[in-house]
């Protein structure tokens, strides 16, 4: 027979689960999940292409596990951001769930604990190094939170904040690549280090684009506040160019044939997308930098890298 004392606690748990689910729906949009899926596939495929060029690459069960783990870890990092940015959001994003009370800090932290256990256990099933790597990602999220609480400069200086926060992306990249090496989808080779540059450039071109405005935004975390509108736009385009050039330099598509050769040069052509976006911004009077070209570049680049890995390794 059910103890009546358990009913309120069960009801409270279900309520909290529902609130976390609504938080996820609001703050973890479907395109974030799409990005995570493409990111892992492109990372693993590119690592395979660079380290095992004569071996056919295709997603495996281990790949699917890494996609699931990265997806929930990105949600974990989103939960960290929601809490560490609370004071900023109270002023600039008053509709955020934690600000409005739609979810509580305790509920977020409880969900983070569950995600940490699941992601580490799932990674351990792949390899011990995978578990260590994903634990490093989770820990860095907490370290970053602490740094921003301790240092106002880290919290308010947009360029320093980028230097401090971006490594979490590098750690996720390292997790995917090291795990893929351990499960056989890629091989240990020095060239795999270039993968970090390619994906850093792709992400940072989007990061600069989404926080660029023609007008000064006092108190807001915009790169254009520090670099100027055109400087921030130029940084976005240069990051895209760096990603494409580095990938082509290491992949060497001039040594490929047929469809693979065509695919090999597409990353360079894709840099026209953010370049045109920057050119139109420079010529227009629009206050906000157009984000769509940056999104289109990163998605098409990842799709191209996936296609390259599938086709070129079969060539």
* Three-class DSSP category at 103: coil
In whole angstroms, give the CA distance from residue 155 to residue 221.
Answer: 9
**CA dihedral for 82, 121, 56, 173, sign (positive or negative):** positive
269-296: b (≥16 Cβ within 10 Å) or e: ebbebbbebbeebeeeeeeebbeebbbe
Domains along the sequence of the chain with CATH: 17-187 (1.10.357.140), 189-315 (1.20.120)
In whole angstroms, give the CA distance from residue 61 to residue 42.
Answer: 16
Q: Write out the two tokens for 242.
A: 């760096």
**pTM (2 decimals)?**
0.91
Q: Please write the tens of the pLDDT for every residue from 280-313.
A: 999 998 899 999 999 999 999 999 999 999 988 6
Q: Please write the tens of the pLDDT for every residue from 114-128.
A: 999 999 999 999 999
Confidence of residue 1 (pLDDT cuts 50, 70, 90): very low
By the 10 Å C-beta count (0-12 exposed, 13-18 middle, 19+ buried), 10 is classed as: exposed
How large is the average pLDDT for residues 250-261?
89
In whole angstroms, give the CA distance from residue 205 to residue 312.
Answer: 26
């Amino acid at each position: 027979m059910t103890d009546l004392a358990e009913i309120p606690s069960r009801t409270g748990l279900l309520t909290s689960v529902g609130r976390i689910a609504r938080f996820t729906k609001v703050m973890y949009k479907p395109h974030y999940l799409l990005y995570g899926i493409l990111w892992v596939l492109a990372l693993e495929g590119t690592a395979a292409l660079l380290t095992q060029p004569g071996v056919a690459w295709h997603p495996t069960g281990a790949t699917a596990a890494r996609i699931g783990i990265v997806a929930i870890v990105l949600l974990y990092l989103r939960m960290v951001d929601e809490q560490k940015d609370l004071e900023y959001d109270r002023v600039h994003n008053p509709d955020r769930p934690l600000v409005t009370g739609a979810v509580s800090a305790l509920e977020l932290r409880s969900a983070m604990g569950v995600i940490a256990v699941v992601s580490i256990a799932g990674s351990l099933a792949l390899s011990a190094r995978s578990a260590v790597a994903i634990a490093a990602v989770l820990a860095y999220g907490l370290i970053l939170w602490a740094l921003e609480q301790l240092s106002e400069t880290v919290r308010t200086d947009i360029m320093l904040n980028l230097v401090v926060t971006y490594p979490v992306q590098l750690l996720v990249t390292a997790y995917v690549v090291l795990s893929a090496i351990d499960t056989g989808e890629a091989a240990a080779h020095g060239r795999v280090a270039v993968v970090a540059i390619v994906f850093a450039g792709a992400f940072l071109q989007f990061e600069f684009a989404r926080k660029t405005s023609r007008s000064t935004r006092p108190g807001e975390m915009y790169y254009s506040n520090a670099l100027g509108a055109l400087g921030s736009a130029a940084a976005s385009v240069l990051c895209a160019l760096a990603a494409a050039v580095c990938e082509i330099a290491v992949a060497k598509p001039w040594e490929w044939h047929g469809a693979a050769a065509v695919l090999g040069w597409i990353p360079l052509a894709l840099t026209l997308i953010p370049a045109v976006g920057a050119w139109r911004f420079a010529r227009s009077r629009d206050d906000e930098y157009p984000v769509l070209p940056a999104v289109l570049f990163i998605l098409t680049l990842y799709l191209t890298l996936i296609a390259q890995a599938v086709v070129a390794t079969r060539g």
